[in-house]
Structure 1
Amino acid sequence: MTATPATTPSQPRPPFARPRRGPSPLRDTLTLIGLPLLAGLALPGAFAGGGTRRWFGGRSESQRAEAQAAKDAAAAAFYELDTAQRDLRISIETITAVDGSPAARRAVSDFEALGRRIDEASGRYIEAVDAHDLDRDGLEASAAVRARTELTAAMDELVRVKQDLDRFGSGLGPLLGKAETQLARLAPAVERARQALLGASNALDAVRGSGLKADDLAARLATLSPELTKLNQGAGQHGVPQTLERAERVAREGESIRAEAERLPEKAAEIDHRLVSLRTRAQALTTRAGQVDPVLSELRRRFTAACWQDLQQVPEQAGENVRQAELKLKEAQAARDEQRWPDATSLLSTVRALLNTTDEAVSAAGDRLRRLNAVQKDPQQEIERTRFAIRDAQRLAMAGRSTPDPRHARPLDDAVSRLERAIGTLEGRHPDYWHFLTETEAVRQSVARVVAQIREDRGGAGH
C-alpha cells in the first residue's frame, strides 16, 4: 500500500495522525538478530476531509457533507488496513526467519496473495479520492452523490479485505508462537555457548598453570573458534535454527572440554597410582610364576599325563607375559612423563590384561594340584555332590506330575549314565582324576540347564 491519493494545495493534513508506536519486544528481537524491518510507509494524504471552503445552502451541501463523511470513513478504513498489513508483515518475517516448513511457506504465499488484494482495494480507494474534489465551489449534488457512492464502495472493499487479513492473522497463531519461542531461546543459547567456551579456556589456563599440558584439549577448543565467529555474526546472517543448533553444539563441546580439563590433575594422579600398583603386581607375579615348576613336578610325579599336560606351557608363557607387561609399563611411564594421557591409559590397560591372563594361568596350576589331591583322597565327596544335584532336579521334574516331561527326563537320565561312566574311570591302577573332575562338572552343568528349563516352563504356564 504505497500509493497516495492526490490532494489540493488548500487541503489540510488528515484530522487523525498515525499513532506513535510503543516499543515492541518482537520488533526489538528481530532487530537484534539482524532481520530486516519494513520501512514505514507514508500515510496517504487523502485521509482528511475538506478544508476551508465556501458553504452554500440547500441539497448540494447536504450531499457534499455525506460524501465528505464517506471519504473520512474510507480514509479510516484505508489507515486501519495499512496498519494491519504492516503489523502482519512483521509476523510473517518472524516466521520465515525461523521456520522453513511447508506450512510457513504456504503462509508466505497466502500473505502475498492478500497483499495483491490490498493493492487492488487501495487503488480503487485512491482513484475514488482523486476523482472527486469535494471542496470545489459549486459542487453539484449529483457529483457529490457519485463521490459518496464510489467512496462507500471503496471503503466496503477495504473493510472486507481487512476482515480477511484479520482471519489470516488469527490462523498464524501456532506458527508465530513456535517462531517466537525459538527467538526467545536464541539469545540465552548463544550466551550459554560463549560462557561454556570461556569456562573451557579458563580451565585450560588453570591446568597449564599447575604444570600439566593439555594439548589435545587446546586443539579441540581451537576448532570451536570459527563456530564462535559465526555465533557473533548473528542469526540474521546464518539463520535462527542453524544458530540455535550451533550454539547448543558449542555449549556441549565447551562444557566437555572444561570438565576434562578440570579432571586432568585427578587423571594424572590416577595414572601415577596405576603405574605403581601394576608394577608391584608384575613383580609379585614374577615370584608366583617361579613356583609353577615345582607344582608341575609334583603333578607329573603323582598323576597321569592327562591331568597336567595342558599346563606344560604355563611357566614359559607366564614369564613372557610378565616381560611384556614390564615393557609396556616402561612405555606407559614415558607417555605419562610426556603427558600423553590417552596413550598412557591405553598402555596401562594392556598391562592389566597381560597380568590378568598370567594370574589366571599361574593360579590354574596350583588349583589343579589342590583339586586332584582332594579327589584322590576322597572321590566320594565329588560323587555325592553330583548325585545330589541330579536327585534335586528329578524331584523338581516330578513335582505336581505323575510322570515327568520327556524333555526333562531324558537329559536327567543321560546325566545319571554319564556320572556312572565317570565313576568307572576311577578304577584301575592310574585313574584319570582330572577327566573324572571335568566329567562331574559337566554333569552338574547339564542338570542346572534342565532345572532352569523346568522353572522357565512353569513360570510361563503360570502367566
Structure 2
Amino acid sequence: MTATARRNRGPLRDLLTLTALPLLAGPALVAAFAGGGTRRWFGGRSEGQRAEAQAAKDAAAAAFYELDTAQRDMRISIETITAVDDTPPARRAVADFEALGRRIDDVSNRYIQAIDAHDLDRDDLDASTASRARAELTAAKDELVRVKQELDRFGTGLGPLLGKAETQLARIAPAVERARQALLAATGALDAVRQTGLRADELAARLAALSPELTRLNEGAGRHGAPQTLERAERVAREAEAIRAEAQRLPEQAAEIDHRLVSLRTRAEALTTRAGQVDPVLSELRRRFAAACWQDLQRVPEQAAENVRQAGARLREAQAARDAQRWADATALLATARALLNTTDESVSAAGSRLQRLNAVQKDPQQEIDRTRFAIRDAQRLAMAGRSTPDPRHARPLDDSVARLDRAIAGLEGRHPDYWHFLTETEAVRQTVSRVVGQIRDERGGTA
C-alpha cells in the first residue's frame, strides 16, 4: 500500500480508535473485574507505559490528520493559482509545493511504519516495548508537526498569488453570465426583427458563429484556462451586444435607405433640369466676357449629364441591394450616388455663380477693390500695434499684397479686361492677408 493510500486510511482508523476508546473503557473494566476480560493485566508500570504509548500514538494520528488536511487545502490553493497564472512566480510556487509534497510523503511513511511496527493492543506488551513505541511515535509526531509548520509558512507566502488568482476567478462567473445574457438578448432582437419581414441573414450568421464560443464558456475555466475564458466571455458579450444593437436598428436603417433612395432620385431629376440651364449661361459668358473668364466651364454640361447618368445607375443598384436586404451594399451605393450628385451640383452652381460675380465686378469693380484694400490696411494697423517698425515677416507679405492688388487693378484697363483673373487675384490677396493676421495673433497670444 502506498504512503498516500496508507495516509488516507490512517487518520480515519485512528480517529475511529480515538472515538471508540472512551465508549469501550467502561465495559472492559467491568469485564476485567468480573473475571471475563480478554486481556491479562501485568501490573501498573507496563500499563502506564502502554497508556503513554497510546497517547503518543493518538497525538501522532492527530498531527498526521492536520498535516493531511492542510496539504489537501494547499493543493486547492495551488490549483486555483495555476488555473489563472503561468508567470515565473506561479511556476516556482508549484515546484516548491511539489518539493514539500515529497517531504510530506517521507514523514508520512515514517509515521505509518511506526504505527505498523507496534501493536499496542497486545496482551503481552512489555514496558520496554511500549516505551520504545512511545519514543518512535513521538518522534514521528514531531516530524509531522515540523512539516506542517513548513507548509503553513509556504501557504503564508502564497497570499499575493492566491489573492490575485481568486480575484480573477471571481470575475469569470459574472462575465460568463453577461455573455449568456447578451447572446439571449441578441437572439430575441433577431427574432423580433425577422417578424417584421426582414431576413437579417448577415446578423444571423454572426450570431451562429458565436455558438462554439458559448460551448467553450460552458466547459469552464478548468478546461480552457481562466484568462482565456474571461477574454472569451468579454468578447462574446461585446459581439452579441453589437448584433443586438444592429438588429434593433435594422428597421430604422431600412426606412432610412428607402428615404434616401427617394430623396436622391428627386435630386437627380432636379439636377438634370438645372444642368440643362448651363448652356444659356455659358452662351452669355462667351458673348460678354473674355475667353479666360469661361473656358474652364466649357465641359460642365457634358460632365453634369454624365454624373447624373452614373448617379442614376448607382441608385438602381442600391434599390436592388435594398430589395435583397444587402444593407451594407445599399448604403455604399447610395454614398457613391450622393457624391456624384454633389459634384454635379457644385459644377452647375459654379457656372451661374461665375456669371453673377462677373456681372457685379463689370458693373462696379471698385467695391471689390475697396474690400481688398480695407483688409490690407486693417492687417497693417495690427502689424504696427505697439511697434515703431513692423516685423519684416509681417511687413513683406503685406507689401507684396499691395503690389499684387495694384497689378490686378491695372489689368482691368483695356478693351476686354479679364474680370475673372481680377477676382481670383483679389481673393488670393485677402487669403494672404488673413494668414498674416492669424500669424500675428498667434504670436501675441490671441490678444491682438
TM-score bracket relative to the smaller structure: 0.7 to 0.9
Q: Does 1:242 align with 2:256?
A: no
In structure 2, the gaps of 5 or more residues are: 21-36
Q: Within 5 A, what are the aligned runs for 1:310-325?
A: 310-325=296-311
2-structure distance, mates of 1:13, 1:262: 67
Q: Deviation per CA, 1:274-306, whole angstroms, max 9, x where unpaired?
A: 111111111111111111111111111111111
CA contact (8 A) 1:329 1:348 kept: yes
AA aligned to 1:4 is R
Report the CA distance shift for 1:102/1:11 in structure 2 as closer, same or farther (over 3 A): closer
Q: Does 1:155 align with 2:157?
A: no
Q: Who is 2:152 aligned against? A: 166
2-structure distance, mates of 1:461, 1:314: 46
Report the CA distance shift for 1:16/1:403 in structure 2 as closer, same or farther (over 3 A): farther
CA contact (8 A) 1:382 1:440 kept: yes
Report the CA distance shift for 1:392/1:461 in structure 2 as closer, same or farther (over 3 A): closer
Q: Who is 1:308 aligned against? A: 294
2-structure distance, mates of 1:373, 1:12: 114
Name whichever of 118-127 and 55-64 sits farther off: 55-64
Q: Who is 2:163 aligned against? A: 177
1-structure distance, mates of 2:329, 2:149: 71
Partner residue of 1:14 out of 14, 17, 26: 17
Q: Does 1:4 align with 2:32?
A: no
Q: Who is 1:418 aligned against? A: 404
1-structure distance, mates of 2:182, 2:219: 18
TM-score (normalizing by structure 1): 0.85
CA contact (8 A) 1:63 1:144 kept: yes
Q: Does 1:280 align with 2:266?
A: yes
2-structure distance, mates of 1:142, 1:116: 33
CA contact (8 A) 1:3 1:123 kept: no
Aligned-pair identity (%): 82
Q: Who is 1:22 aligned against? A: none
2-structure distance, mates of 1:400, 1:376: 40
Q: Who is 1:329 aligned against? A: 315
Report the CA distance shift for 1:461/1:121 in structure 2 as closer, same or farther (over 3 A): farther
Deviation of 1:177 after TM superposition, in Å, equals 2.6
Q: Who is 2:25 aligned against? A: none
SS of residue matched to 2:445: helix
Report the CA distance shift for 1:174/1:452 in structure 2 as closer, same or farther (over 3 A): same
Report the CA distance shift for 1:4/1:222 in structure 2 as closer, same or farther (over 3 A): closer
Report the CA distance shift for 1:383/1:368 in structure 2 as closer, same or farther (over 3 A): same
2-structure distance, mates of 1:107, 1:223: 39
Name whichever of 417-426 and 178-187 sits farther off: 178-187
Name whichever of 356-365 and 71-80 sits farther off: 71-80
SS of residue matched to 1:211: coil
Name whichever of 52-61 and 109-118 sits farther off: 52-61
SS of residue matched to 1:13: helix
Q: Who is 1:38 aligned against? A: none
AA aligned to 2:144 is L
Deviation of 1:386 after TM superposition, in Å, equals 1.4
Deviation of 1:448 after TM superposition, in Å, equals 1.4
CA contact (8 A) 1:295 1:365 kept: yes
The aligned length equals: 427
1-structure distance, mates of 2:57, 2:446: 87
Q: Does 1:231 align with 2:234?
A: no
Q: Who is 1:102 aligned against? A: 88
More helix by share: 2
AA aligned to 1:398 is M
Name whichever of 188-197 and 322-331 sits farther off: 188-197
2-structure distance, mates of 1:353, 1:376: 34
Q: Does 1:84 align with 2:70?
A: yes
CA contact (8 A) 2:441 2:447 kept: no
Partner residue of 1:446 out of 428, 432, 447: 432
Q: Deviation per CA, 1:365-416, whole angstroms, max 9, x where unpaired?
A: 1111111111112212211211222222222222222222222221121111
Deviation of 1:200 after TM superposition, in Å, equals 2.3
Q: Within 5 A, what are the aligned runs for 1:253-402?
A: 253-402=239-388
4+ residue segments displaced more than 6 Å: none
Deviation of 1:69 after TM superposition, in Å, equals 2.7
TM-score (normalizing by structure 2): 0.88
2-structure distance, mates of 1:298, 1:53: 139
2-structure distance, mates of 1:162, 1:359: 88
2-structure distance, mates of 1:222, 1:361: 49
Name whichever of 58-67 and 341-350 sits farther off: 58-67
CA contact (8 A) 1:235 1:243 kept: yes
AA aligned to 1:178 is K
In structure 1, the gaps of 5 or more residues are: 18-50
SS of residue matched to 1:2: helix
CA contact (8 A) 2:186 2:241 kept: yes
2-structure distance, mates of 1:334, 1:425: 56
Report the CA distance shift for 1:461/1:298 in structure 2 as closer, same or farther (over 3 A): closer
Q: Within 5 A, what are the aligned runs for 1:135-214?
A: 135-137=121-123, 139-214=125-200
Name whichever of 179-188 and 112-121 sits farther off: 179-188
AA aligned to 2:77 is S
SS of residue matched to 1:166: helix
Q: Within 5 A, what are the aligned runs for 1:21-36?
A: none
